[in-house]
Amino acid sequence: MIHSFVFNDGKLVGSNLDADALRLVRSDKGLLIWVDLAQPTPEEAKTILEDVFSFHPLAIEDALSESRYPKIEDYEDYLYLVMHAVAFSRADQFRTTELDFFIGKTFLVTHHTEPLSMVTSTIERIQKNPSTITRGMDRLAHFLLDTMVDAYQPVINDLTQEIHNLEDTVFVAKHSEPTVIKEFRARKSEVAHLQEIVRPQRDMVNRIARGEFKLIRPLMLPYFRDLQNNLSRIESTASNLSDQLYLTLDVFLNKASYETNEIIKILTLLTALTTPTVLIGTWYGMNFQDMPELHLPYAYPVASAVTILSTLALVVWLRMRHWL
C-alpha cells in the first residue's frame, strides 16, 4: 500500500497521489513529499523507488531485503537509513520490524513490510495538525525516529517484567524449576538482540547529531542529540537487564547445587547409618558350614542387640561431629 502526502509551507495540500502525479510534484521544488510504502507489492516498490525517485540500486536492494542490523549511507542527494522498531507480546515475544528511510531535502520515503503504530500515529497527526512536523523532511524523519524510540519503553518494561517473573521463579519456588534454563535462554536472546540493534542505532544517530550529513539542518542537531541520549539510556537499561539475568542464573545454579548437595548428604547419612546392619547381616549371611554363633541359644538376640547398639553409637558419633 502506498500513502503519499504533499506539503507546502507546513500545510497538507495533497495526499495519496498516483505515480504520475508524484513525478510532477517532484519537479516542483517548493513542495515537500512524504511517501510511505506499507507492505508494498514488488510492483509498487519498483514504481516508487526506481521510477519516481530513482534511488541507487544498492539502496533499493537493501530496502527490499531484510537487514538484521541498522545502517546509514550518504548518497549525496539523500540519506539511506535502516532502523528497527521493536515490539513485545506474550504470543510473539520480542520481535523487530525494519524501517527504511530515504531522507532528501524535499522528500522522505519510508518502507516497511509490517504495520507500524508509529507510522499510523504520525499519519493521523499530519491529517490533524501537520504544521509542527512537516516544515522540513529532516524534522519529519526525526519525529518518526523519536516516536519509534519512545515505543522502546513499553518493550523495556515488558522485558523487565518477564525477568522479574523469572527471578520470582528462582527465589520464591521451594525447588529449582527445570524450565528456568529455557526461560533464561529466551530472555538472554531477546536482551542480546535489543543490544545489537540499539547500539548501532545510537552510533548512527550520534553521527547525525554531530552534523556529519549536510542534508540535516543545523537547527535539527539538538533534537537528534536528545534522540541519541534516549538511545543511550535504552542501551544502558538493556545492559542492566543482561547483568540482572546473569545474576539470576548464578542464584539458580547455586540453589540447584545446594539442593544436589543436600540430596547427596542425605544419601551419605543413610549409607553410614545402615553400615552396621550391612556388615553384620553380610557376615552372618555367608552360611559357612562351621559358624559357632549359629549354635548359641541367644545368637539371634545378641546379633540384633549388637546391630542396634552399633547403629546408635554411630548416630551419637555423627551428632558429636555435627554431621547429623
pLDDT digits (tens, 9 = 90+) for 40-88: 888 888 888 888 888 999 999 988 888 878 889 999 889 999 998 887 5
Please give the Cα distance from 34 to 143 (Å, whole number).
13
Instruction: Look at residues 22, 21, 16 and name the one whose alpha carbon lies nearest to residue 3.
Output: 16
* Higher pLDDT among residues 44 and 251, named by residue: 44
pLDDT band of 93, cuts 50, 70, 90 = low
What pLDDT, on a 0 to 100 scale, did the predictor assign at position 1? 84
Query: How much is the average pLDDT of 220-225?
Result: 92
Secondary structure class of 36 (helix, strand, coil) = strand
Q: Global pTM?
A: 0.74
Strands 32-38 and 107-112 turn out to be: parallel
Reference 69, options 51, 88, 84; nearest CA is 84
In angstroms, rounded to a whole number, what is the distance separating the alpha carbons of residues 265 and 91?
43
**CA separation, residue 74 to residues 10, 58, 101, 213, 272 (Å):** 26, 12, 12, 8, 77
* The predicted structure's pLDDT at residue 250: 79
Distance of CA 159 to CAs 150, 189, 301, Å?
15, 11, 68
Read off the pLDDT of residues 184-207 as tens digits, 9 standing for 90 and up.
888 888 888 888 888 888 888 999
* Alpha-carbon torsion (17, 18, 24, 28), positive or negative: positive
Query: Is pLDDT at 6 greater than 60 in this prediction?
Result: yes
Q: What percent of the chain has pLDDT over 70?
A: 93
